[in-house]
Structure 1
Amino acid sequence: MLDDSDRRLLRQLQADPAQPVTELARAAGLALATTYKRLERLEAQGILRGQRMTIHWPALGYAVEVSLRITLDKTNPRAFDEFLAAARDVPEVIEIQTFLGRVDARLAVIARSMSHYQEIYRDRILSLPHIADIEALMHVASVKNQQTLPL
């Protein structure tokens, strides 16, 4: 599926996704036209799905991050769909993951302060449908947040 040239391109993109294609081609040891063709192919195959900027939330005043593990009351067959639709509408929920097992979902919630988080929790989170149990985990530090693969 991937050859050595593709892997070199992907390694370079993981290291610096914003680099100009001319630098990417040089670093990967490929001609510029070849690099463009390979990038187009990797996008068409769904391997590359665009570039993203990461927002540093504390720089915008969001000093609190809480991870909520949610167990749903699954007696309603639409519990998952209704919960997820409502959770998407909470602006301070920056990530939603679903799981198989005792925990059904995890929400990453950001807030400006603990009192702001308490307001979000009481007014928005507790009003989400079909919640049977919530466990809150206060984020203290990111020890590793790497989304690169050894290619």
Structure 2
Amino acid sequence: MLDDTDRRILRHLQADPSQSNSTLADLCGLSQASCWRRIERMEAEGVILGQEAVIDWQALGYTVEVSLRITLDKTQPRAFDEFLAAARELPEVLEIQTFIGRVDTRLWVIARDMAHYQQIYRTQILTLPHISDIEPLMHVARLKSNEALPL
């Protein structure tokens, strides 16, 4: 169970994960050792999953973003497993979500330009197993993007 001090640590860690343990401890009113023990405990409990660099893929030349809503042929017993295993191998697929309902999965795909997207779509996406229907949604604008939790 998290207490108020744990939540305070998480709030400050979300705001700036690169800050030193010393700075974080000062911000949270803790000793460095106590702060470090709490962070280690939250990592061991799976509350903190890790830290990562967030890279602006547009700065690297990827200008096209497409969400593909995919319905699978559910008459095949291993359709989900085989589709997901193959989709995970595509480097341009940044995210895979599964759903219960008419749409089974959503792939979030990036490409350098429309020609590159067309190539990915034709040679990689359409060759994924067990697709019965696919609906591409072209991304227009990101109005809100926030990974931080309201702690």
TM range (shorter): over 0.9
Q: Which residue of 2 aligns with 1:3?
A: 3
Q: How many residues end up aligned between the 2 structures?
A: 151
**CA distance in structure 2 between the aligned counterparts of 1:32 and 1:63, rounded to whole angstroms:** 43
Q: CA deviation at 1:46?
A: 0.7
Question: Following TM superposition, by how much is the alpha carbon of 1:98 offset from its aligned partner in structure 2, in angstroms?
Answer: 0.8
The offset of 1:115, in angstroms, is 0.8
In the alignment, the residues of structure 2 paired with residue 144 and residue 47 of structure 1 have an alpha-carbon distance, to the nearest angstrom, of: 24
Q: Aligned partner of 1:2: which letter?
A: L
CA distance in 2, matches of 1:91, 1:71: 21
Letter in structure 2 aligned against 1:21 = N
Cα distance in 2 for partners of 1:82, 1:30 equals 49
1:86 aligns with 2:104: no
Residue of structure 1 in register with 2:33 after alignment: 33
Separation in 2 of the partners of 1:82 and 1:96?
A: 14
Aligned counterpart, 1:101: 101
Task: Report the identity percentage.
Answer: 67
Correspondence for 1:131: 131
TM-score by length of 2: 0.97
Structure 1 residue 128, shift from structure 2 partner = 0.5
The aligned counterpart of 2:122 is 122
How far residue 55 of structure 1 moved from its aligned partner, in angstroms, is 1.4
C-alpha separation in 2, matches of 1:100 and 1:18? 38
> Shift of residue 133 of structure 1?
0.6
Unaligned runs of 5+ in 2: none
1:57 matches 2:52 = no
CA RMSD in angstroms, aligned pairs only: 0.8
* Residue 46 of structure 1: aligned partner: 46
| 1:74 corresponds to 2:74 | yes
SS at match of 2:37: helix
TM-score by length of 1: 0.97
- C-alpha distance in structure 1 between counterparts of 2:41 and 2:128, whole Å: 42
In 1, the alpha carbon distance for the partners of 2:90 and 2:49 equals 25
